[in-house]
Structure 1
Amino acid sequence: MDGREHYTFILISALLPLFGVAAAVVLLWNRLVGPADLIVFGIMYVIAGLGVSTGYHRLLAHRAFKTTRPLRIFFASAGAVAGQGPPVIWVAHHRRHHRVADKPGDPHSPYSDEEPGIKGALKGLWHAHMGWLFDRGLSSDPMRYCPDILRDKDMRFISKYFVWFVAGGVVLPGLLGLALTGTLFGAMTGALWGGFVRFFVANHITYAVNSIGHYFGRRRFATPDESRNVGWLALFSFGEAWHNNHHAFPRSASHGMRWYELDISALVIRSLEKLGLATNVIRIDRERQDQKAIAWEKLGGGRHARSNPDKPLALRSRTSAVGIVDVE
């Protein structure tokens, strides 16, 4: 997907779901929405949400756990269905974000322009939420940031045919609606609610983690960025909104670091581990959390704090007799 194709996809994916929401509102007004539509919406929301949170984010971008090839393909495919970009591009942007979070070079920081006042704040929030997606010049080199994903033939396949996975995210709920209602109208409203409306709601929840999650909320750790924990957003984002926790310990499989911080993705990973389907699960114990918190407090946090980010993954690789081996 080149620059023009990417821009065209972003434009269409921004407008079509919006029209879908408008159509859904009309149907709600005329009481033409049934339980089947809500069931289909729920099923697709969970599939796409776990695809992004558990698959794209924790499995691929941060390698917080390992799993079997079929499950890796399932989670990555579900992430593609969400429509936020091919796995190769999504992971490259996200790893770049962590290297320079809220500093020059961050793809989606709300502080990119540093314009003062309410106008500047609104512009920054819009940029972090969705505006950055329309930047024709934005590029995060996958060879630099995610060579491990590029070496994975399954991820290359999903990335190459990404648009077809997105289309499947509309066709599948239509088929579910047909199966539940036995009518063509049920298929159409299933595609509407499980496809377009789900696309709009789920993706704006993810975008809110980028915008709201770097502007409003609480900071447990004085990280060298502006990441924040946003409790009310955590349920809808499958745990992603414990964002300050995540920036403090990016490789942790769990973003909720207290018993009361609900993290659905972490629960899914834990369940897979108990079934023997997830291994090498990264955990951060309380002692290490407390030690890091004290160290950061001494240095001072926020976007103006000095940071020493890790080198991109491509520069942390070494060649062995059997190929390229990542060291981290």
Structure 2
Amino acid sequence: MSGDHPDPCAVNSLVETPGCSPVEGRVVWDPIHSIWNGGMLAGALVLGPLTVSPGAAAVFAITTGAGLLLGHSVGFHRRLIHGSFKCPLWLEHVLVWVGTAVGMSGPFWMIRTHDLRDWAQRQADCHDYLAHRRPMLIDAVWQMHCRLKLMHPPAFDLGRVGRDRFYRLLERTWMLQQVPIAAGLYLMGGWGFVVWGVCARVAASVSGHWFVGHLAHRRGPQSWLVEGAGVQAHDVPWAAIPTMGEAWHNNHHAFPGSARIGLYPGQSDWGYRFIRLLERLGLAWDVRTPETMGDRKVLVPAKP
């Protein structure tokens, strides 16, 4: 069940069905996400230069950073998807709302997309879409404008997350969550704040998420290899700060249920620092780290 699985390395929401396979399938256009992602990028490119100001740039930096830290990294990835720490439900709702406001999609879509890729990359082979094997331009179009239709897909069980009425509302209205944000930004600073606080922020978050994900499965340092996995992960050190620690992707493949992703000296991990702050405030507990997860037998050290 998503977010509350007893196995810290499990793919939480995915249920393997007889004959399911991550290999055979076709990539098709995803009109909803394509039009949304393309529209936000077009708005940023066309209107951004006309409305830029120091205030608008500050709004972009603050809202993008806060969204990626509180929502995407801590709320969506480390809490909702992996259950790497526990917190009060009201706080989880706030963090997941922020994650939805990042503008990539709703919580159910994010969980299914993540868990399908996670499961597929652990198999001996998977479709190029799931492995980021195609050249960069093709992969960008595939990931931000298309979706994969597997011939024999697995099933999903979102558990208590799927039954949560607030998350069901967010799933139906994820695009509309930008409306109150845009209204507040307009009152604060006019259309420049809206363009940079909504269009540019969403475009940068979506494009950056794809770009780092593409590199993290193609090249870069490795500390660990996962035996039997057809796709191995790499770290993207330069992206550690803008991704709030998520760019230490090789570490994440090695210890997927860990709330701490930057594991070694010099590896910045603002997401984990925020979780530790919540822990000190009594708002987070049962925080998982590799030290508390036990040995994972499929791990072997990567050669230098």
Query: Which TM-score applies when normalising by structure 1?
Result: 0.73
Bigger drift between 74-83 and 13-22 goes to 13-22
Match of 1:98 among 96, 99, 118: 118
**Shift in CA distance, 69/287, structure 1 to aligned 2, threshold 3 Å:** closer
Partner of 2:24: none
Partner of 2:4: none
Q: How many residues align?
A: 268
| 1:135 aligned onto 2:154 | no
Query: Which TM-score applies when normalising by structure 2?
Result: 0.78
User: How far off its partner does 1:37 sit?
Assistant: 0.9
> Which structure 2 residues correspond to residues 33-112 of structure 1 after superposition, within 5 A?
33-50=52-69, 51-101=71-121, 103-104=125-126, 108-111=130-133
1:248-303 alpha-carbon deviations (Å, 9 max, x no partner): 11100011001311011111111001100111111112996xx6599524xx89xx
Q: C-alpha separation between the residues in 2 aligned to 1:110 and 1:284?
A: 27
Q: C-alpha separation between the residues in 2 aligned to 1:43 and 1:142?
A: 39
Tell me: higher relative CO, structure 1 or 2? Use CA pairs within 8 A at least 6 residues apart.
2
Partner of 1:241: 247
Contact 1:37/1:194, CA 8 A, preserved across alignment:
yes
Q: C-alpha separation between the residues in 1 aligned to 2:98 and 2:208?
A: 16
**Shift in CA distance, 293/258, structure 1 to aligned 2, threshold 3 Å:** farther
Contact 1:52/1:82, CA 8 A, preserved across alignment:
yes
> Which structure 2 residues correspond to residues 1-328 of structure 1 after superposition, within 5 A?
7-24=30-47, 26-27=49-50, 33-50=52-69, 51-101=71-121, 103-104=125-126, 108-111=130-133, 121-122=134-135, 125-135=136-146, 138=149, 144-175=156-187, 178=188, 186-223=189-226, 224=229, 225-285=231-291, 295-297=299-301
1:9-40 alpha-carbon deviations (Å, 9 max, x no partner): 2122222222222235533xxxx633221221
| Structure 2 counterpart SS, 1:208 | helix
Across the aligned residues of Structure 1 and Structure 2, the Cα RMSD in angstroms comes to: 2.9
Q: Percent identity?
A: 25
Q: C-alpha separation between the residues in 1 aligned to 2:211 and 2:222?
A: 17
**Shift in CA distance, 75/106, structure 1 to aligned 2, threshold 3 Å:** farther
Q: C-alpha separation between the residues in 1 aligned to 2:292 and 2:171?
A: 38
**Shift in CA distance, 165/106, structure 1 to aligned 2, threshold 3 Å:** farther
Q: C-alpha separation between the residues in 2 aligned to 1:134 and 1:75?
A: 26
| Structure 2 counterpart SS, 1:279 | coil
Q: C-alpha separation between the residues in 2 aligned to 1:229 and 1:151?
A: 35
Rg bigger for which structure?
1
Contact 2:254/2:299, CA 8 A, preserved across alignment:
no
Structure 1, unpaired ranges of 5+? 1-5, 112-120, 179-185, 302-328
**Shift in CA distance, 162/62, structure 1 to aligned 2, threshold 3 Å:** same
- One-letter identity of the residue aligned with 2:58: I
**Shift in CA distance, 150/127, structure 1 to aligned 2, threshold 3 Å:** farther
